[in-house]
Structure 1
Amino acid sequence: MLFDTHVHLNADQYEEDIEEVIERAREAGVTKMVVVGFDEKTIPKAMNLVEKYDFLYAAVGWHPVDAIDMEDRHIEWLRELASHPKVVAIGETGLDYHWDKSPKDVQKKVFRRQIQLAKEVKLPIIIHDRDAHQDIVDILKEENASEVGGIMHCFGGSIEIAQQCLNMNFYISFGGPVTFKNAKKPKEVAKEIPLERLLIETDAPFLAPHPYRGKRNEPAYVKLVAEKLAEIKEISYEELAHYTTRNAFKLFGIS
């Protein structure tokens, strides 16, 4: 059993063959997936998918790149959706200093609002962190995000940053980049993360693992992430699958 904790099956890239993509994932042993919606277009599509498939769950949030577009009504919308039985997390939210569409101060405000919402509705938070490691950690501390915890999605920070996140009740999730031949740092960090706090994901259709790097990613490829992490942790693939799936069930409150 594998659990892809972060996938965008609601992306345009799957318009033509969503059924086949899901079938390939099931054949690869992926029994559960969290479909992440992060704006006005992707959230309704995520909700439609989780209504249709019993093994899919949703996360709803507002992406930091688009923070400048967020209005009060969107927070109210997220609050309403949070009561849906198949919504298991708030996110993805966080900070993204790579793209400059949304000013940093706006991103921080929107990030804080979503942490506060997650605490209100008692759901974990899925964190998007691009080139903003220390600011993310500082805001999580200031907002007492440890109350609900969550996931550092597709983690790319240092072991020091990871340790601070672990101390705040967060899980560390790895995706395709940990399989890249030149990915020295993610491998070093993954080796240090306790098995009880490790998760796997694809972020599909983005960040496809080796040997599909540069091509469209899909949830079936989470198996390649699991195999690489098992190798890094020097344990069996079955043990890695067991721990990461159990961790996801626990975090998302899925019985």
Structure 2
Amino acid sequence: MSQQQRNLAEAESSPAAVPGETPPAYRPAQSDDDARSTAAAATGAGSGPARDQTEEKSGKKRRLQYPPAPEPLSVPVIDNHAHLDFRDGQIAVSVQQALEAARAVGVLGALCVGYDVASSEFSVTAAEEHPQLKAAVALHPNDAPVLAAQGDYDAAFARIAELARHDQVVAIGETGLDFYRTGEEGIAAQRRSFEDHIALAVERGLALQIHDRDAHAEVVEVLDAAPALPRAVVFHCFSGDAELARICNANGWYMSFAGTVTFKNAHALREALAVADPQLILVETDTPFLTPHPHRGQPNAPYLIPQTMRFMAEVRETGLDSLCQQVMLNTTQAYGSWT
């Protein structure tokens, strides 16, 4: 049996999703007993920070209810980027529950991504306990300047390098440059950290997951200047335009599209998706952020990947099944077999 056949068999063996209904694990508890049961089931999950319950730009209160499940995919895919340690809304969902809800709609697993030492340790532990997960470890570009100013960067990076030796780690990330939240005074520390993470990915033979916010040209500059590049370079939550997509095409860099591609004002992002090399396209949630339209602002979860995939197929003017098959192949090309 081929890997694709095994993936299909796994998806078919999962409980059928009920389109239009929120998966049970993501629904509010109906009683005190339900609440205690849910909290007990979620032990070990949601141990990271809580997502802000107001919208970043408008300051309005967010809707904290999880969206309904979309129609399942016929051909399964992997969520390329998820933060399963984050808490959001009022529901405590275990990693196992999140994976079961995802699998029921044809999402066979996820890359659990670190952004500091604690979350990277969480990702490794989660991947040890759940074969549907792989781990990525790193220091976030917005954390690097803070750690450097405190004199803690070297120790933190040494721990990331130690975690990178784990068998379940397939990528270094998320790392990169972020000029949206970090000012001029922190850019040098960000760049040093980015370069360190690139070198670590090369040393360990791992993929690289890039966080690029308002820094497209500078990220490309660092990649071009690197003595060597990792086995796979992935732009997580790709946010560039068609020009950056063509640069990625030319260099063989992967572009991972999130729910942002469905946002009403994301015209340039959709143009980028339209010209992206199909062999370089990935899909992600960035859970619990970036929930696809029309549920923008609500909590996100891996089970919502089919909504983004359907939208991507429309933009690409291609069949959903063929795009899913290509995305799954790309995922295994970037990270290796997902077993």
Question: What TM-score results when the alignment is normalised by the length of structure 1?
Answer: 0.95
Alignment-mate amino acid for residue 136 of structure 2: A
The equivalent residue for 1:232 is: 315
Distance 1:146 1:117 in 2: 10
> For residues 75-86 of structure 1, what are the structure 2 equivalents within 5 Å?
75-86=157-168
Distance 2:240 2:196 in 1: 23
> For residues 1-255 of structure 1, what are the structure 2 equivalents within 5 Å?
1-13=76-88, 16-18=92-94, 19-68=96-145, 69=147, 71-100=153-182, 103-254=186-337
Quick check: 2:246–2:275 contact (8 Å CA) kept in 1? no
| Percent identical residues | 36
Distance 1:125 1:167 in 2: 17
**1:93 Cα deviation from its structure 2 partner:** 0.2
Quick check: 1:36–1:43 contact (8 Å CA) kept in 2? yes
Change (3 A) 1:145 1:219: farther
Alignment-mate amino acid for residue 155 of structure 2: R
Specify which structure has the bigger relative contact order, considering alpha-carbon pairs within 8 angstroms and separated by 6 or more residues: 1
Change (3 A) 1:8 1:127: same
Distance 2:128 2:230 in 1: 29
Structure 1 gaps, min length 5: none
Change (3 A) 1:145 1:16: farther
Structure 1 or 2, whichever has the larger Rg, is: 2
- Equivalent residue of 2:237, what SS? coil
1:110-146: CA deviation from partner (whole Å, max 9, x where unpaired): 1111111111111110000000010000001101454
Distance 2:120 2:298 in 1: 24
Quick check: 1:145–1:168 contact (8 Å CA) kept in 2? no
Distance 2:186 2:192 in 1: 10
Instruction: Report the more deviating stretch, 41-50 or 146-155.
Output: 146-155
Quick check: 1:90–1:118 contact (8 Å CA) kept in 2? yes
Alignment-mate amino acid for residue 183 of structure 1: A
Distance 2:109 2:101 in 1: 13
- Determine which structure has the larger strand proportion and give its number: 1
Distance 1:166 1:122 in 2: 22
Distance 2:156 2:250 in 1: 30
Distance 2:109 2:259 in 1: 18
**1:166 Cα deviation from its structure 2 partner:** 3.0
Distance 1:133 1:214 in 2: 25
Distance 2:302 2:227 in 1: 32
Structure 2 gaps, min length 5: 1-75
Quick check: 1:141–1:168 contact (8 Å CA) kept in 2? no
Alignment-mate amino acid for residue 85 of structure 1: D
Alignment-mate amino acid for residue 93 of structure 1: T
Alignment-mate amino acid for residue 98 of structure 1: Y
- Equivalent residue of 2:80, what SS? strand
**1:147 Cα deviation from its structure 2 partner:** 4.5
Change (3 A) 1:82 1:159: same
**1:35 Cα deviation from its structure 2 partner:** 0.3
- Equivalent residue of 1:65, what SS? coil
Distance 2:228 2:304 in 1: 31
The RMSD of aligned alpha carbons is: 1.7
- Equivalent residue of 1:41, what SS? helix
